Homo-oligomer: A and B are copies of this chain.
Amino acid sequence: MNRTQLVSTIRQKKTYLCVGLDTDITKIPIHLLSEPDPVFSFNKAIIDATKDHCVAYKINTAFYESRGLKGWESMERTVRYIPDTHFRIADAKRGDIGNTSAQYAKTFFEILPFDAVTVAPYMGEDSVRPFLEYPDKWTIVLALTSNTGSKDFQQLGMAEGDCLYERVLETTASWGSTKNLMFVVGATKTTELEHIRTIIPDHFLLVPGVGAQGGSLKEVSASGMNKDCGLLINASRAIIFADDTEKFAKKAAAVAAAYSAEMAAYLH
């Protein structure tokens, strides 16, 4: 999905919600555990129920890998089930030397039909480039994350006066364009968001941390939105685990719809 299509979908549906499929098998409703692939059955129900209220899904690969082969089967089924009208993100946080990153890019862009993959910047340009070489695919680079550990390195001051995350934004932005590069900025970092918009006014941001992690949708939207919206705001646990009974999908839809109704009011 290219930028024009993404922006047009956001305008049409009046939402910039991304539903995070962090599907922990120990947290899904008990009645699903007798299904042949409980995680896929759960995701399928969540996707069916929420697809009108979101523009993107984000699959957190860790929750699938931790079930071994069965988990990868659930992930494959899930990403193939997401309609191609939706932006499909592999939240994988990969990154390695060039020939290895090329293999990861192949995994998520050729073997699996993801539109985007999250990438860690620590190893520099040749670790990010292979992802950028795919037309109409997106690389989402970690900039300022939502967790407490973001202070350990990301927010440290550099010799030239800026912080590491600012340097990551500036340098990485020069490797791609606003059409193939996004950045992860945590929803708990609203103070920094306005400043980040002075560095990268036009890029899309993937913003996790609304919901279970406590970020404010209102504040993120006020500080981070640009003329093309420029935001994909992710909520995972707050939507998919809103209820653990047979009504889980209905409840997930209601929570997603509530987020989207709020987003519609912020879109201009």
Interface residues of A (CB under 8 A from B): 22, 24, 60, 62-63, 65-69, 72-73, 76, 91, 93-98, 100-101, 103-104, 106-107, 111-112, 120-128, 142, 145-154, 156-161, 164, 167-168, 171, 213
Residues of B within 8 A of A125 (CB): 148-149, 152
Shortest A232–chain B CB gap in Å is 17
- Of chain B, the residue at the smallest CB distance from A63 is B103
The answer to whether A66 touches B124, judged by C-beta atoms less than 8 angstroms apart, is: no
> A24 → chain B, closest Cβ, in Å?
8
In the bound complex, how far is the Cα of B120 from the Cα of A22, in angstroms? 21
Could you say which residues of chain B place their CB within 8 Å of the CB of A160? 157
Is the Cβ of A111 less than 8 Å from the Cβ of B67? yes
Smallest Cβ distance from A175 to chain B, in angstroms?
9
Given A68-B72, A123-B150, 19 additional A-B pairs, CB 8 A: A62-B103, A62-B104, A65-B104, A65-B107, A65-B111, A66-B106, A67-B111, A68-B76, A68-B111, A93-B95, A97-B145, A121-B122, A122-B145, A122-B154, A123-B145, A127-B149, A158-B158, A158-B159, A159-B161
A-B complex: 3 closest residue pairs judged by Cβ atoms: A124-B149, A124-B152, A157-B159
Residues of B within 8 A of A103 (CB): 24, 60, 62-63, 65-66
CB distance from A172 to the nearest CB of B (A): 9
Q: How far is the CB of A28 from chain B (nearest CB, A)?
A: 15
Asked if A124 contacts B147 (CB within 8 A), the reply is yes
A-B contact pairs, 22 of them (CB 8 A): A60-B100, A62-B94, A62-B96, A62-B101, A62-B103, A62-B107, A68-B72, A68-B76, A68-B107, A69-B69, A72-B72, A91-B96, A93-B123, A95-B120, A120-B122, A124-B147, A124-B152, A125-B148, A153-B167, A153-B171, A157-B159, A158-B158
The distance in angstroms between the C-alpha atoms of A93 and B93, with both chains bound, is: 8
A150 to chain B, nearest CB (A): 6
Contact yes or no, A148 B122, CB < 8 A: no
Specify the chain B residue showing the minimal Cβ separation from A162: B159
Choose among B60, B112, B149 the residue that contacts A126 (Cβ–Cβ < 8 A): B149
